[in-house]
Structure 1
Amino acid sequence: MRRDLCCFNSSGKRQMRSFSDKMGLHDLLIFCIFFSITLTMTGAVECHRVLEFCQRNDRNIPSCLESTMRNCQTPRNVPPPDPDFYMKNMHFSEEAKLKTKYGHVIRIPSEAIVKSGGMENVSVSLKVSVLSNSIFQAPSVRGSVHGRVLGVWLGEQDLYNLSQPVKMQFVNTSQNVSGKCVFWKQSNNAGLWSSEGCNTSRNNIDFVCSCNHLSFFAVLINPGSVQDAEDVHRLEYITYIGSSFSVLFTAIVIILFLIQRKRKSEHSVVIHVQLSGSLFLLHLFFLASTLGSGTEKKPVCQCLGLILHWALLATFTWTAIEGFHLYLLLVRVFNIYIRRYLLKLSLVGWGFPIITVVICGLAGSYGKYSLTESNNNETNLCWITDKTVSYITVNTYLGLVLVFNTAIMVLIVVKMWQLKLRGVQTGSRIRRLWKDWATMLGLSVILGLPWGLAFSTYGPLSLPGIYLFTTLNAFQGVFVFLWFLSTTCKSTHDERTSTKDISMSNFSS
């Protein structure tokens, strides 16, 4: 046997020598590079350096953190030099608890420790990283990330569907905001904040997130949201009832106009009807979007969101056209004939919103939009999911329309004041006063000035502002119907008076 062993050693040495002779410097370099890459991929990165490694080598930092942190190297008996990284070995018989210097408290149930591989004599590593929210870029209008993001890992396995939730406490620095617990849901090369599997509660002031899985966690806040669930339900009732009435009364306006088509209508009446049509579509598809948001078919919700956006932009555009028409009647007065006037206004009123929503639709800006409430319930709507698109096409456009129509309203008030000083108005003083106020309120609705209350829903008077904004704009269709009725009756009365005067003059002659 000794002899055989000696023969084996002798042949082995000859083979190794032969292999080293054949292996050149170039092959040795390739082997070393491959070996170093293999070490890196199998967890050669130290845990406290994973963030630095991902920022340097990967564009999708959350995905890199998720995959690398599970297999990173954990130095023994050496505290991590990164103050935002925490690590603790946990045994299966105890509940894991870890605190950060920012006030976060993370509690891991024993069930999660057992599922991650923890046994009687085997411990698992709990890793927590406090990250900047700038790492996570997601197109969302649901709110902004409150403070920092927590990344939580336990062992090397992915944990989900836990019967005992993982609880995380986030410090709330402001009492006047409502928040919702979310986690980072990775999808291909992008990600988004999702609330699946997470519940939100309050511990006095702080937010407590209870989730049935591990991931990156944060709290989305919305400073303009309603805090009390009862207020939310009241506002929902006002919105649904008001929108239903607006659909009904704007439909009546359109029907009355179609019945009277034989008689030549003034341009103002036709523009009122066009505005009524846009409001009819707006409230109708708002109700449809709230119902359609529960569907699992994503294209259906995207289509409803696109149509709702188009109807809203059409409403804003027709209110601006109302202001433009009043400018021609009250300021220019003379030489205001425009060839094919109504056709050109219709192309602007309906065409501009179509172009806008087509561009937004091609950019994929529509989907399910969730409104966050304080009691962890959600009111979903098929709407714009991109915050930038919402700010530009809704907030900015509405602001421009309101500035223009407010200037027109000021001109109308000046004209009315000049007529009053000249003594042109007739009738009793009280009657004139009521008539002036009714005219002002009617024109305010036609010019869309109640939409400006949207900018008053923030600050100390946010709750009264939300109630006032919701009520006036939900019932806007009813107000437009009353204005249309008053103008139509006035026009009919003037025609009858004029006909009567002509008849009397002919009789006397």
Structure 2
Amino acid sequence: MQDVLLTAGILTIDNARESWDFINGNDTRNSSSMRSNSPPPESVSSILLQSLEMITRRLTNDTFNIETPSILLNKTTFNNTFNADFNSSVEINITEPDGGNTSITVLTFESKHNVLPARDEANSSLNIINGRVVLVQSSTNISNISFTFDIRNNSLVDPKCVFWNFSLFSGLGGWDDEGCMLVPNNDNETVTCNCNHLTSFSILMSPYSRDDPGLAIVTYIGVGISMVSLVICLIIEAVVWRKIRKNNTSYLRHVSIVNIAVSLLTANIWFIIGAAISDAEEKNPPACSAATFFVHFFYLALFFWMLASALLLLYRAVSVFEGGLSKRSMLALGFCLGYGAPLIIATITIAVTAAKGTYIRDTGVCWLNWEPSRTLLAFVIPALLIVVINFMILLVVMYKMLRRRVAGDATQAGEKHVLVVIARSLAVLTPFFGLTWSLGVGTLVDPNNTAIHYSFAFFNSLQSNSGGNSSSGPGFL
């Protein structure tokens, strides 16, 4: 058995990684082109792991320990509880009340990550095996086992507890998280996983988010300044509210401004609440889900009220100023669009994903999940779509205004001034919000780019200072 382990260890050394990447790449291509009536191709890397599992299952000795440079094999018997540290890299803890005598066989691999591809059901290219691979077998069913892995690369975050599922990818095998869950801890050097079954375990990390104290500082300072600015904006609006009812256009515009400021202020408050929940020693999933729902809802309300303001501008620019929709009708449409549409999107999002456990992220700040459900698109798509629509509306309105000016259209001076103010405000609001949130797309495309992360945190945390105040100021000059 020692010779078998030595041979397997040589096959998995770091110098063999390029060869294994080539083999696993061929496996993936064969799987994608396989006909439905053809037998599934076999993955060489998966076969190697399964062969070692079958061999060790046939060892009949009660206890033994075989140590090689790359693989540690241990078999032991325990009664009810078991705890051991294997090769100073993986700690295993088993609690089986009234389990009687139980034997387990543990294979700890030093370099198995060079062999097994980091593919899972979502996307194979965005995950990294960041800990030892451990194969555990037992003579009885074990329903409660805990693994504490030493992390290889501390710069990677968002750990996911997984096991190697031989049936995934048409028999090629892949990482699966069913029956395993992450145990939150404050230790940046280890990750703990609880599982209800035995197989080959490791840690899969996605490099989407970053654990950077500098980003947190920039975000909190920016959000704090924004909240103060938004409060000042709302106070100014309250003071001058009686003076802005010169016409329906001015009144409806300021209704939009107030709701934009209220939505952004409330979203910032819930953002801080969500961050506090995430930073707690024990993360509370229901509270985190609630915070995520309200952050999602109010940030969407911010964008939909921007859309309502842009549509008001378009309506006034392309229609006759007298007559048309009443102020009450336009208010009703504004509130339905500003709060009704976000409520529908946020409610459908949590209803579809919460039951599957894919609504919020497993780790990090309380926010919409990305892997594997792509729940974050329920915010990204509406927000960016509104930004594009606002740009198009702005171009149409500016074209209409220029034509009227050239033609000498005798539009009321007050209404024309208000339209100029709205256009100028949208010219500030729309590019600012659009450009800052487009940086969020950059963090998905290039997650390791520090400059994009800092730019995204800085501009979005300070968006109300340029957006809220600039939009309200010109309104009562």
| Alignment TM class, shorter chain as reference | 0.5 to 0.7
- The SS at the match of 1:304 is helix
Q: Which residue identity is paired with 1:299?
A: P
What's the CA shift string for 1:406-438, capped at 9, x where partnerless?
A: 2234445656887999999xxxxxxxxxx9998
Q: Give the whole-Å Cα distance in 2 for the aligned partners of 1:123 and 1:384.
A: 36
* Distance apart, 1:368 and its partner CA: 5.2
- Secondary structure at the aligned position of 2:206 is classed as strand
Per mean C-alpha deviation after superposition, the further-off stretch among 84-93 and 258-267 is: 84-93
User: Per the alignment, do residues 144 and 256 of structure 1 end up closer, same or farther by CA in structure 2, a change over 3 Å counting?
Assistant: same
Task: Pick the aligned partner of 2:225 from 206, 230, 245.
Answer: 245
- Which one is further off, 392-401 or 307-316? 392-401
Higher-Rg member (1/2): 1
Distance 1:442-1:199 versus aligned 2 partners, 3 A rule:
same
**1:360 corresponds to which residue?**
349
Asked whether the 8 Å contact 1:92–1:123 carries over to 2, the reply is no
Aligned to 1:258: 238
Task: Tell me what 2:379 maps to.
Answer: 394
Look up the match of 1:286: 271
Matched, 1:126 2:107: yes
Q: Does 1:233 align with 2:221?
A: no
Q: Which amino acid aligns with 2:345?
A: T
The Cα offsets for residues 456-476 of structure 1, whole Å up to 9 and x where unpaired, read as 333399433332222222112
2:127–2:206 contact (8 Å) kept in structure 1: yes
Task: Give the TM-score normalised by the residue count of structure 2.
Answer: 0.59
Aligned length: 359
What are the equivalent positions in structure 2 for 1:3-18 lying under 5 Å apart?
Answer: none
Which secondary structure state, in structure 2, belongs to the residue aligned with residue 381 of structure 1? coil
| In structure 1, C-alpha distance between the alignment counterparts of 2:91 and 2:294, rounded to whole Å | 46
**Whole-Å Cα distance in 1 between the matches of residues 405 and 216 of structure 2?**
43
Which of 337, 340, 345 is the matching residue for 1:351? 340
Other-structure match for 1:152: 135
8 Å Cα contact 1:182/1:198 also seen in 2: no
CA distance in 2, matches of 1:200, 1:273: 43
Displacement of 1:127 in angstroms is 8.1
Measure how far apart 1:342 and its partner are. Answer: 1.5
Tell me the C-alpha RMSD between the 2 structures: 5.1
- Quick check: 2:350–2:359 contact (8 Å CA) kept in 1? no
* TM-score, normalization by structure 1: 0.55
Deviation at 1:82, TM superposition (A): 3.0
Give the unaligned 5+ runs of structure 1: 1-79, 101-106, 117-121, 202-207, 372-378, 425-434, 491-509
Change (3 A) 1:455 1:183: closer
Partner of 2:310: 323
Superposition deviation, residue 287 in structure 1 = 0.7
Matched-pair contact (CA < 8 Å) for 2:105–2:136: no
Question: Which whole-Å CA distance do the structure 2 matches of 1:291 and 1:328 have between them?
Answer: 43
Match of 1:183 among 144, 161, 169: 161
Counterpart AA for 2:232:
I
1:36-92: CA deviation from partner (whole Å, max 9, x where unpaired) = xxxxxxxxxxxxxxxxxxxxxxxxxxxxxxxxxxxxxxxxxxxx9933422567975
Flag the 1:351–1:436 CA change in 2: closer, same or farther, 3 A. Answer: closer
Closer/same/farther in 2, CA of residues 266 and 81 from structure 1, 3 Å limit: closer
8 A contact 2:433–2:463 mirrored in 1? no
Instruction: Determine whether 1:194 maps to 2:182.
Output: yes
Q: 1:456 aligned to 433, 439, 442, which one?
A: 442
Q: Unaligned stretches of 5+ in structure 2? A: 1-44, 73-84, 96-102, 165-176, 410-420
Tell me by how many angstroms 1:288 deviates.
Answer: 1.1
Q: What amino acid is the match of 2:267?
A: L
Equivalents in 2 of 1:289, 1:451: separation in Å?
Answer: 20
SS in 1 for 2:135: strand
2:48 is paired with a residue whose SS is: coil
Structure 1 contact 197–212 (Cα < 8 Å) conserved: no
Q: Contact between 2:159 and 2:205, CA under 8 Å: does it hold in 1?
A: yes
Corresponding letter in the other structure for 1:194:
L
